[in-house]
Chain A
Amino acid sequence: GQNIDQPTEMTATEGAIVQINCTYQTSGFNGLFWYQQHAGEAPTFLSYNVLDGLEEKGRFSSFLSRSKGYSYLLLKELQMKDSASYLCAVRGSYIPTFGRGTSLIVHP
């Protein structure tokens, strides 16, 4: 089975940096995904990690440590439009299993 844990909610200030953590326990590992989902909309793909280390993509970066079963999504220079739910999904073998998501609230 798989177990994925993320904080339920986080708040941050516009312009700041926020780190959203994801810990997981899986039988097998074939990649970790981060998605952004605005309320009532489809999740949109942000990043994919399969090897240890940091992947940077503009304001967003994602880190993975397979030995620790740990990932984080780092959002820099926060904007109001970054207020959304962030989903961590782990692919054990074929189909990703999703965490419950972290609701990020960015305030002025």
Chain B
Amino acid sequence: DGGITQSPKYLFRKEGQNVTLSCEQNLNHDAMYWYRQDPGQGLRLIYYSQIVNDFQKGDIAEGYSVSREKKESFPLTVTSAQKNPTAFYLCASSRGLAGVTDTQYFGPGTRLTVL
């Protein structure tokens, strides 16, 4: 079954620690994205990647970093520089960026709580 996986579902970290959230897809999609969702805020774009070894900042990239070494994987690191990291993090992928068929499909999300 093709899909997007994120692990873990729930993650707890102490303030000041970096933490990496994993995202894997086997849909053979070129584009991948990270969003953050807070109550009443909707989804906000953190980073996106069109192809391997290339990624672009989204609207709220400060305090986050990503890598795209493999087509299937797009891990997100939440650094200690992120002022308010507690949130629901969603990874998505699409075949491309702007075509008619380039719908985004989402992973199950990781709920990060920083204590």
**A residues adjacent to B (C-beta < 8 A):** 8, 30-31, 33, 35, 40-45, 48, 50, 87, 89, 91, 93-101
> Residue of B at shortest CB range from A88?
B42
Indicate whether B105 reaches chain A with its CB closer than 8 angstroms. yes
Bound-state Cα–Cα, A12 to B44, Å: 28
> For A101, what are the chain B residues with a Cβ–Cβ distance below 8 Å?
42
Chain B, interface size category, equals: 20 to 34
Q: Quick one: given A30-B98, A87-B42, A101-B42, are A96 and B111 in contact (CB under 8 Å)?
A: no
> For B43, what are the chain A residues with a Cβ–Cβ distance below 8 Å?
43, 87, 89, 98
**B residues adjacent to A (C-beta < 8 A):** 33, 35, 40-45, 48, 58, 88, 90, 97-98, 100, 103-109, 111
Question: A44 is contacted by which of B42, B48, B97, B106 (Cβ under 8 Å)?
Answer: B106
B103 A98 Cβ-Cβ under 8 A: no
Bound-state Cα–Cα, A48 to B43, Å: 18
Chain A interface mostly: loop
B50 to chain A, nearest CB (A): 9
> For A89, what are the chain B residues with a Cβ–Cβ distance below 8 Å?
43
B10 to chain A, nearest CB (A): 10
> For B90, what are the chain A residues with a Cβ–Cβ distance below 8 Å?
42-43
A95 B42 Cβ-Cβ under 8 A: no
B48 to chain A, nearest CB (A): 6
A-B contact pairs, 26 of them (CB 8 A): A33-B103, A40-B109, A41-B109, A42-B90, A42-B106, A42-B107, A43-B43, A43-B106, A44-B106, A45-B103, A45-B104, A48-B103, A91-B98, A93-B98, A95-B33, A95-B45, A95-B48, A95-B97, A96-B104, A98-B35, A98-B44, A99-B42, A100-B40, A100-B41, A100-B42, A101-B42
A98 B108 Cβ-Cβ under 8 A: no
Q: Which of A30, A31, A40, A42 has the most CB of B within 10 A?
A: A42
